[in-house]
Amino acid sequence: MEFLIDLIGSIFPYIRAVIIAIIPLGFLIFIHELGHFWAAKRCGIKVNTFSIGFGPKIFGFQRGETAYKVSLLPFGGYVQMEGENPSEQTGAPGEFASASIGNRAFVVAAGPVVNLLFGILVYWVVFATGLNTHASRLIGGLTGMPLGEKEDIQIGWVADDGAGAASGLMPGDTLISVNGDPIRHWSIFQTRVLTSAGKDLELVVERDGAPLTLSIKPDAIPSVRGDMGEIRVSSGSETIVHQLTADSPADEAGIQTGDLIVSINGENIHNVPYFGYGVWHSSADWIDEKYKALHKQINENRDALMIGVRRADETLTLEMPVEWRVIASVQDDSIAEAAGIQTGDVLATINGEPIDATTLYAQLSTTANRPIEIGLIRDGNPKTVTLSNETESSETDSDAVLFGLMWQTTLSGMQLAPKTAPLPEYGLVDGFGKGLEATWLTFTAVGRTLQQLIGGEVSPKHLAGPIGIANATSNMFNRLGLSSLVFFIGFISINLCIVNLLPIPIADGGQLLFFAVERIRGKPMPRKAQEIVQQVTIVLLIAFFLYVTWFDGMSLIYDLRN
């Protein structure tokens, strides 16, 4: 019985994730089909079936001339109208084909229009009810919309052995465009690199106030979706003093909270210096190696560290000694929390020896099988706790996060953070305007992706089908919160509108194209031609669906394993 309970407990998070993903996707499909259904009824067309999902019926009921049902496969749905299939047309009143061209076009367009209107409504709600940091980043990443003060997209760290360095990219370069497309957000540039493995990109940057054109070819990195592009550069950010410890070396040197840190020992910095838990982890990457090199450089000038500071219009160079403090960050329900360590505690000693952030992870790893004595300083008072694997813990503990304990360091009393612009606030009126702007940018972003697909610049392997969208929806809810999830649902709704309006014979846009041809010819396309086109299109779409779903599934399996 205990095994069964543990099994159910381990499976439940995935069941919950599936439910969280299916509900909004099912709703978007429902309102799309509801648009078709409502328009058909308005035009006097007989509706035989209204189905949410495809495949075998789970449950349903009959009301009037229409059978309503929910089917097994939730990623889809349909409204089946009398005489909609060319092979079933008799010319009788009430058939779809018997309605006027205008009425048929109205019925077909109603589904995508409902998705569009719902997307606009969702965007309006998100802007009008207030943005948070996660939502603003998501909006910028999906649409390229600048929010708040316009910020330059700078390059931060550049790996010495990466494609970025080989092309001539340098820290501090400001990104302007890639292959002629403006770069309004770091994630847009990142996606373009990711989908361009081994392909030449023309990159325009600004350096020292002048434009510079570079040719860059991302390295091809194997993945479950095929080769992914990588250039090994990070996004840059300005660094501010987020918090300052009173009477610390930085405080005594004249540093103030809010100061902009522009250089350390005469070298400009374009990333926030970070020397916490992840840098010294066994899985540290090339970016962490850059932080390690900066940490070493700082320690070479322990008695007289030179800090370049910008304060308003004033630029200062201040001198201070180096003093490191290790600040704890504790996971909920972890061994570290059970032992009495709290987030914000200063970690002073380990087994009686002074703590060094550069070796702390290794020390915890090598002593993980026996009790560890940690000396703390909390509110100026010393305290000693003991970490032990015998202390009750939860699933938050893992080999990657030993004892549920992570840490950050302060440099001479400074806690550094990226400079961020204040989030804008919108009312009902200007929130609606921003929603319309975001809708237009969504259309342009999707259109640009379709153009790149047709031109062969982007592989369909990078597209997401129902499984990929469901996985992204679940992750959105778990990691970024409700506001981000709501915006993402609106984004998917507008995507459904766009995809359905493509001139593909089986899609709504394809039917509208047939109606336009009928208007021009003065008569419908021959029934046999319609049937052949639809059958061929169905086969191709099923093949395409299976192709995308295969890579979605492989990616999902990879995520679950890791």
Q: H or E stretch including 329?
A: strand 324-330
Q: What would the two tokens of residue 21 be?
A: 């993903």
Mean pLDDT for the stretch of residues 483-503: 86
For position 114, what pLDDT does the model report? Answer: 93
For position 477, what pLDDT does the model report? Answer: 63
Q: Give percent helix, percent strand, percent coil of the chain, each to the nearest 5.
A: 45, 25, 30
Q: What would the two tokens of residue 272 be?
A: 């926030």
For position 204, what pLDDT does the model report? Answer: 93
Burial class (CB in 10 A: 0-12, 13-18, 19+), 47: buried
Does the pLDDT value for residue 124 go beyond 90? yes
Q: Write the pLDDT tens digit of every residue in 223-274.
A: 766 778 889 998 888 889 998 888 889 899 999 999 999 999 988 988 888 8
For position 391, what pLDDT does the model report? Answer: 43
Beta bridge partners of 9: none
Query: Taking the chain, what is the end-to-end CA distance rounded to the nearest angstrom?
Result: 28
CA–CA separation, 532 and 508 (whole Å): 17
Give whole-number Cα distances, 179 to 3, 134, 205, 458, 498, in Å: 56, 29, 12, 13, 24
Q: Write the pLDDT tens digit of every residue in 311-323.
A: 888 888 999 999 9
The amino acid present at 92, given as its one-letter code, is: A
For position 181, what pLDDT does the model report? Answer: 84
The amino acid present at 15, given as its one-letter code, is: I
For position 306, what pLDDT does the model report? Answer: 92
Does the pLDDT value for residue 402 go beyond 80? no
Q: 19: pLDDT confidence band, cut at 50, 70 and 90?
A: low
Q: What is the pTM of this model?
A: 0.74
Q: 481: pLDDT confidence band, cut at 50, 70 and 90?
A: confident
Q: Write the pLDDT tens digit of every residue in 52-90.
A: 877 788 888 888 888 888 888 766 678 888 877 666 666
E strands along 143-283, which residues? 155-158, 174-178, 181-182, 201-207, 210-216, 219-221, 228-230, 233-235, 239-244, 260-264, 267-268
For position 445, what pLDDT does the model report? Answer: 82
For position 362, what pLDDT does the model report? Answer: 79
For position 505, what pLDDT does the model report? Answer: 73
Closest by alpha carbon to 401, among 447, 332, 309, 448?
Answer: 332
Q: How many CB atoms lie within 10 A of CB 535?
A: 12
For position 113, what pLDDT does the model report? Answer: 93
CA–CA separation, 405 and 330 (whole Å): 5
With tokens 């309503």, the residue in question is 68
Q: Write the pLDDT tens digit of every residue in 188-226.
A: 888 888 888 888 999 999 998 899 999 999 988 887 667
- In percent, the amount of the chain with pLDDT more than 70 equals 82
Q: What would the two tokens of residue 518 be?
A: 């009928």
CA–CA separation, 443 and 455 (whole Å): 18
With tokens 């160079």, the residue in question is 317
Look up residue 303 and give its DSSP letter: S
The CATH classification of domain 324-409, taken from the options 3.60.140.10, 3.90.1150.10, 2.30.42.10, 3.40.50.720: 2.30.42.10
For position 215, what pLDDT does the model report? Answer: 92
Q: Write the pLDDT tens digit of every residue in 24-55.
A: 777 888 888 889 889 988 888 888 888 887 77
For position 556, what pLDDT does the model report? Answer: 64
CA–CA separation, 111 and 32 (whole Å): 4
Taking the alpha carbons of 437, 25, 472, 201 in that order, is the dihedral positive or negative?
A: negative
Least confidently predicted of 15-19, 160-164, 380-384, 427-431: 15-19
Mean pLDDT of the chain: 81
Domain spans in the chain, listed from the N-terminal domain onward: 324-409
CA–CA separation, 541 and 214 (whole Å): 39
